[in-house]
Structure 1
């Protein structure tokens, strides 16, 4: 049931962004389902498509009820189901799992910015779906051998407090660095895992992008992901931690695009935002200053890369403008 109270500005904004993301995911799912030859993967993705399609329709009804323009988002014109398979060996579920990680974070923010019962209920429903799919995807990938668990560690036998500020040191060239704590190790493993998927995704996009500038942009993104993986691997090797956060998924040799350049650019735009937030988390909770410094610099590079992508989307008319407040100065002047 739609609430009688009008939507607030934050609710309009979050619903608009949710619509963009969900219509993009629907198009991606349609292609992955069409190309998958694994029934279990098809069942996971098909169930998610049904759930998200319902909520996309609900958002459309809310906008229509409020007399607001329904966003365009991404349509059937943005997916080419007849394109050959661009990714293989579990990449579809691996990428869906990453998208669900992003969604979980977005819904938490969206609920915090919602005031109407129906909007809060909408995000609660989407959160439940996302958590279920994330669990199904994780179990599937582990059973198939496409996902590697983080390194095992020795269980702590006592409780300790940090007594020396040298615990934070890592930048001094002639001072021995302490071993990684489990929070830092978890963040580093997650960084390799997500950047590895991002590397494969953007490699495929670079192979098949139609626009020359977009192709060059994706190629730069591929190098950025490789640099981030390289940086984390160096930190792990210095601490005698074997790294194995790689998936068995692969990019095929196809150069025929399954998605429009517009969709691929928005997808990378979304992942850039996720990378910036994830990098900020790693920077704050890494207590060794060499790790936090390297993570911060890496996040800065992602930010500038994202800004370049936004300019390309605007230049080509691919970035739909979010709803905005009235320009009072212009109204008065006119």
Structure 2
């Protein structure tokens, strides 16, 4: 991708391209493991397409960095995936993982595009957004056809426009001083959070089984417990309204104890999902009008933050946290 205008990268463009390099090289390594064990041709084609596009994105970023005289990030290489190892997850987890990554990608790439100034960079992130959206559509359709993707509950269609009449609506109580029923926005946010945590739970189980480092293994066990806590806590809100929380019989961790991935890679994936979980909780808290929901999500956000912080400390301790490009430290000039 040429830079015909000869305009240098801004800090936001450099940082977002760097992050995308990390994420895409991570995804390539995960897909390499999935491709070793995929059985259905349709899924194999989808995974291969995902790999090829991720590789193309990495090559584009590499070209941009070379043109700018910037060092190429390390990211994740063939040293982070071990070929010929037993599969770590059962049938269809590959698509469930890909669906989760696409959801993250759509949000991030769209945001990155709005933070970019050079036309070629804007177009690059737009292409990544479009690709993730197209891929998500295909993955979702297959999971629905396989019967493993649980839809959120159906409801009666509204017949008239209504306005909130009482402040109790915000406090979460009705005129009988009982907890009011959830509205559809609140149900959608809770359903999405539980669905994501179920995929994350199986990820933590699999990672905990194969992690080589004792501290890393214990960290993934903490992740298992945190995912279960979030699912149980949010699921109770649905059960109070006689709504069954989402669950699926597919995509479980296998009983393998042989690592197909490096501890470094597994820690990065966990850190990425934890960071996105913080953002999802903030979004959920902002759009939930029942006061008990934002409070609950705020408490969960604190747990997720502490978990992510602990993960960062482990990564730094082991020399696994690649440092993002740094701006010039001009503060030292004031001390001279």
Question: Deviation of residue 246 (structure 1)?
Answer: 3.0
- Residue 2 of structure 1 aligns with which residue? 2
* Map of 1:241 onto structure 2: 243
Q: Cα distance 1:142–1:117, how it changes in 2: closer, same or farther (>3 A)?
A: same
> Take 1:321 and 1:300, find their aligned partners in 2: how far apart are those partners?
24
Residue 171 of structure 1 and its aligned partner are, at CA, apart by 7.9
Contact 2:264/2:315 (8 A) holds in 1: yes
In 2, the alpha carbon distance for the partners of 1:333 and 1:161 equals: 59
Alignment size in residue pairs: 333
Aligned counterpart, 2:68? 66
Residue 177 of structure 2, aligned match among 170, 175, 178: 175
The residue aligned with 1:38 is: 40
Partner of 2:305: 303
**Of 22, 28, 31, the match for 2:30:** 28
* Secondary structure, counterpart of 1:136 in structure 2: helix
Which aligned segments of 4 or more residues in structure 1 are displaced greater than 6 angstroms?
331-334
Equivalences for residues 1-334 of structure 1 within 5 A: 1-3=1-3, 4-170=6-172, 175-330=177-332
Cα deviation 1:42-74 (Å, max 9, x = unaligned): 111111111111111000000000000000000
SS at match of 1:242: coil
Q: Is the 8 A contact 1:193 1:246 kept in 2?
A: no
CA distance in 2, matches of 1:153, 1:248: 26
Cα distance in 1 for partners of 2:333, 2:325 equals: 17
- Return 5+ residue gaps in structure 1 as ranges: none
